[in-house]
Amino acid sequence: MPDSLNALSTKSKYLFGLIALSFIAVICAAFNMPNSNNFDISRREVLLRRIGHELLLQSGDSTSRVLPVKKLSKNEYHISFENDFTFQPDSLVNTTVRLLAQDPLTNDYVVTILNCSNHSVAYGFAIAKNKRDDIVACKGRKQPSACYTINIKFKPTEIATAKTAYVLGGLSLVAFVGFIFFRPAKPVKSLPEDNQDKDIFTLGSVLFDAKNRTLTINEKTIDLTGTEARVLRIFAASPNKTIERSQLQKEIWEDEGVIVGRSLDMFISKLRKKLEFDPNIKIVVIRGKGYKLEISS
């Protein structure tokens, strides 16, 4: 048994190690997916500068600079300008949508134009992959010349979301498998060695084998029926004690069906006859209560 348990433990550890390696392989594959992620991000920053450049040209400024694009967070960028300028909202929306359509990482984004002086919102709009979710304010009002900055916040890309799902799913799988194979095993309670003796009863000079349903008296063996053995076992477990009639009836009912009339008395009578070889053993009636197996010393 210990050898088989050790073998099982070794197999479990081997399987767990195999799954862990598979998980690592999946993660490596996820983070090495064939995508030019870094290249596309650099391309996005160039497109953002292009947006600023075309806005200046549309306002009549062909000499001042678009300042370096600042990356505020993983998916948020800030475009600022050297000089004040004016812009037409419809031109801003059309230019931004046209240029960012060339960005393979872009699906949904929000554009906010802020006043440099007080950071109030001069204009803003939202573009979604599903055009029904676009939010574009009135585009017909030209904005006065002032210092403006442009913030563009992109929705996280599907690639990043997929990688996160791979990682979380893989960790959950490894944790589950680890729980299954390495949880503490419930100790198996070993049966007492004398359990086999619980089916053997000594009643005076009679040896009662409840399991094999036999009585041995003076080297003579007498067979019992299943019901007789069950009833006698109740008596043998509590010798010289009164056993209620209802308890005996319940034992017979569980095996033989519904008791009718004096069926119990019939079984008791049969047991008396099979025990009559030993005068020190008697099944007596206790009026109003039940029966008792009396064993004289």
Residue 112 · residue 124 · CB < 8 Å: yes
- Per-residue pLDDT of 145-198, as tens digits, reads 999 999 999 988 755 555 566 556 666 666 665 666 556 555 544 444 444 567
Boundaries of every domain in the chain = 37-159, 197-295
Residue 79 amino acid letter: I
Each residue of 63-113: pLDDT tens digit? 999 999 999 988 899 999 999 999 999 889 999 999 998 888 788 899 999
CB atoms within 10 A of CB 204: 17
Q: Which two tokens stand for residue 156?
A: 């996280």
User: What amino acid occupies position 237?
Assistant: A
Cβ(122)–Cβ(148) below 8 Å:
yes
Q: What percentage of residues in the chain have a pLDDT greater than 90?
A: 24
State pTM to two decimals.
0.44
Class of 197-295 in CATH: mainly alpha
Nearest to 180 by CA among 43, 16, 3: 16
Count of CB atoms situated within 10 Å of the CB of 280 = 13
Residues 293, 201: Cα–Cα separation, whole Å: 13
3-class DSSP state for residue 284?
A: strand
